Each structure stands twice: as structure tokens, then as C-alpha cells.
Amino acid sequence: MTNSHTPHAPRARRVPRAAATLALTALATLAATAPARAADDTMPNVNGKSLSAAYQALHNNKDVQLQDGRGAGRHVLWPANWKVCAQHPQAGAPLQHQKVKLTVVKSRELCGNGR
């Protein structure tokens, strides 16, 4: 009796659906190049709000410049853990051709104005 075992071809690796969705979302975010805008093209008031709420008020446009309010140069990896301390332009200002800049700190930290 002979052993006629034949090696199997290596299985193709499958990318999990969640990873593929995350990658496509990241690419779509990087592709956005228009300045952030509210529905009526005016800057909403996002001071004191979570960064997630600020993104929602700006219709999830991630083309927003973020600045660490503590001056430590930290990067935001999870917006739900951060809050807005200052914004430019100010609430109500027209957003035509303006970049939005938000100064943020971690949610448990105080802003420079004590909030």
C-alpha cells in the first residue's frame, strides 16, 4: 500500500469584510479635498463639543486641521476621546474658501479657558 498523499495548494487569504470596509472608508476620507462646510455654508458653533459632534456638525468632512490644545503635538486617533476648545473661523462666519481649524484636548482635560 502506498501513500498517495498530494500536497494541497495554499489557500488564498481572504481579507475580512470589516477590514475592507475600513480601508475603503479611510481612502474616501483621504480623497475629500473640499473645505469643511455646514449645510448653509456657515461655521457651526462647536466650541466645548466632542470632536465627534463637531465632525457631525460639519457633515463628517474630515478636511479639518486639528491642533493639540496642550501644545504637545499629539495626534487624534479616536475623535470620540477629544473635545473642541477653540475654532476658526468663529461660529456664524461664512465658510467659502476657508479651512476649518479646531483646537482640541482629550475629553478628560481642561481647555485653556477652563471648560
Task: Give the pLDDT confidence of 51-82 residue by residue, as tens digits.
Answer: 999 999 998 876 799 999 999 999 999 999 99
Cis amide bond preceding 89, omega within 30 = yes
Residue 91 lies in a domain: yes
29 contacts: CB under 8 Å, gap ≥ 6: 62
Computed over every residue of the chain, the mean pLDDT equals 77
For residue 18, the model assigns a pLDDT of: 52
Domain that holds residue 63: 37-106
For the chain, how many structural domains are there in total? Answer: 1
111 in Cβ contact with 58 (< 8 Å)? no
58 lies in some domain: yes
Percent of the chain with pLDDT over 90: 50
Position 45 in a domain: yes
Residue 11, CA distances (Å) to 14, 17, 19, 40, 79 in order: 9, 17, 19, 52, 38
Q: Is 113 contained in some domain?
A: no
More confidently predicted of 37 and 27: 37
Could you tell me if residue 23 is inside a domain? no
**Region 32-44: what's the mean pLDDT?**
61
Average pLDDT over residues 22-48: 59
